[in-house]
Amino acid sequence: MTIAVYPGSFDPPTLGHIDIARRAAGLFARLVIGVSTRPGKAPLFTLDERLAMIARELAAAGIAAEVRAFDGLLTDFTRAIGAGTIVRGLRGAMDFDYEQPQAALNRRIGGGVETIFLAADPALQPISSTLVKEIARGGGAVDGLVPPGIAAEIRAKLA
Ligand code: PNS
């Protein structure tokens, strides 16, 4: 299977996301970034903003990937685009505990679709969209956690 999906909320995209996308793009013939239309928590950025941000930052980083929104089940999206693999980044044991049942159930309901996990780069391991937003809401600097353009957009959104 040479088509992979890297799904997420990307609210906002972080340097960790960009690193996983770069590494995944090197492993598959085609990488599709699946941006969830319905993130679990109330998103800071709209779907259109999240699509535009991740597409722009991938292009800026020279990463060959398509960006698409998906609604509903991830496995319906993987089936629709003919992807056999889901890519997720793992920062630590808590991520694994969250991801493992989803990988197992996606395989069960998704016709055998596999999830592969890429271990986060140690330098990027503590970064999450949630903590980036928390730092920014508290007035802290998020430079070095997200691409520079994203940091500016977070500041503008919270201003
Ligand atoms: O970046 P996130 O918020 O960790 O991404 C989570 C996401 C969007 C990948 C996950 O919530 C998801 O796959 N949502 C789609 C709904 C779905 O298929 N749920 C069943 C999982 S077994």
If you take atom 20 of ligand 1, which residue's CA is the nearest one? Answer: 73
Q: How far is the CA of 35 from the centre of ligand 1 (A)?
A: 10
pLDDT value at residue 40:
79
- Percent of the chain residues topping a pLDDT of 70: 99
- Residue 79 confidence class, pLDDT cut points 50, 70, 90: very high
Q: How far is the CA of 99 from the centre of ligand 1 (A)?
A: 9
**pTM score, whole prediction:** 0.97
If you take atom 2 of ligand 1, which residue's CA is the nearest one? Answer: 8
Q: How far is the CA of 85 from the centre of ligand 1 (A)?
A: 14
pLDDT value at residue 143:
95
State the catalytic residues: 17, 41, 91, 129
If you take atom 22 of ligand 1, which residue's CA is the nearest one? Answer: 102
pLDDT value at residue 41:
76
pLDDT of 107 over the 60 cut = yes
Out of 45, 47, 73, 95, give the residue to mutate to test ligand 1, the one with the largest number of ligand atoms within 8 Å of its CB: 73
Residues in the chain: 159
- Residue 125 confidence class, pLDDT cut points 50, 70, 90: very high
CB 66 within 8 A of CB 31: yes
pLDDT of 14 over the 80 cut = yes
**Inter-CA distances, 42 with 10, 72, 87, 93, 124, Å:** 12, 16, 24, 25, 24
> Minimal CA–CA distance to 154: which of 58, 20, 140?
140
pLDDT of 39 over the 90 cut = no
Q: Beginning with the edge strand found earlier in the chain, give each strand of the sheet holding 66-70 in spatial order.
A: 66-70, 30-36, 3-8, 85-90, 114-119
pLDDT value at residue 1:
55
**Residue 36 CB contacts under 8 Å (≥ 6 apart), including other chains:** 7, 8, 9, 69, 70
Residues near ligand 1 (Cβ within 6 A): 7-9, 36, 39, 73-74, 102, 105-106
What is the per-residue pLDDT across 87-103, written as a single tens digit (0 to 9) for each?
A: 999 999 999 999 999 99
Q: How far is the CA of 32 from the centre of ligand 1 (A)?
A: 15
What is the per-residue pLDDT across 40-51, written as a single tens digit (0 to 9) for each?
A: 778 999 999 999
Q: What is the mean pLDDT of residues 67-90?
A: 98
